[in-house]
Amino acid sequence: MTQPSLLSLSASQLLDAFASSAPTPGGGSASALSGAIGASLLAMVAALPKTRTGDAAERVALDASGTKLGELRQTLAALVDEDTRAYDMVTAAFKNPRGTDEEKAVRKAAIQTAMRAATEAPLATMRACEAAMRESAI
């Protein structure tokens, strides 16, 4: 069963989820959420009606930057849930049985797959945040 997106929760419910004793959502999801908020704020600044100098080229650059920041915001928003799913995969993999050699092999493969996903989600978050920071330099 697919769980609802963390972003569909109210702010209060989301904070409660982060404060709970459950292993997820955790730091990776919080980082992606923070990045999405940052990208949103940068997009807001890019959309301000007045530019620094009033130059048309500056407006074009800010509009392009705002578009890219909107895309990065969406990426980061998706990573909030992706990080949680990845960590949930890790915990599930470690719960696999390991009584027989075959079970041990299946468990080991599941752990490796899950650990890769649990590494890729925060790496994608870091890359998207870095791209948002670069857009802010316009």
Q: Comparing 6-15, 38-47, 48-57, 85-94, which segment has the lowest mean pLDDT? A: 48-57
What sign does the dihedral 39-74-33-31 (CA atoms) show? negative
The residue type at 128: A
- Picking from 56, 60, 57, the residue whose alpha carbon sits closest to that of residue 68 is 60
Distance separating alpha carbons of residues 45 and 8, to the nearest angstrom: 25
Arithmetic mean of pLDDT over the chain = 95
In the numeric block, the tokens 């904070």 are attached to 15
d(CA 134, CA 110): 36
* Non-local CB neighbours of 40 within 8 Å, separated by 6+ positions: 69, 73
**What confidence tier does 51 reach under pLDDT thresholds 50, 70, 90?**
confident
Tens digit of each residue's pLDDT (9 = 90 or more) over 60-107: 999 999 999 999 999 999 999 999 999 999 999 999 999 999 999 999
Structure tokens at 137: 């330099």
Burial of 114 (0-12, 13-18, 19+ CB in 10 A): buried
- Summarize pLDDT for 55-69 with one digit per residue, the tens: 899 999 999 999 999
Q: What is the pLDDT of residue 93?
A: 98
Structure token digits, residue 78? 């998706």
Q: Which of 5, 12, 10 is nearest to 84 (CA)?
A: 5
- Judged against a pLDDT cut of 80, whether residue 1 lies above it is answered with no
How far apart (Å, rounded) are the C-alpha atoms in residues 11 and 17?
10
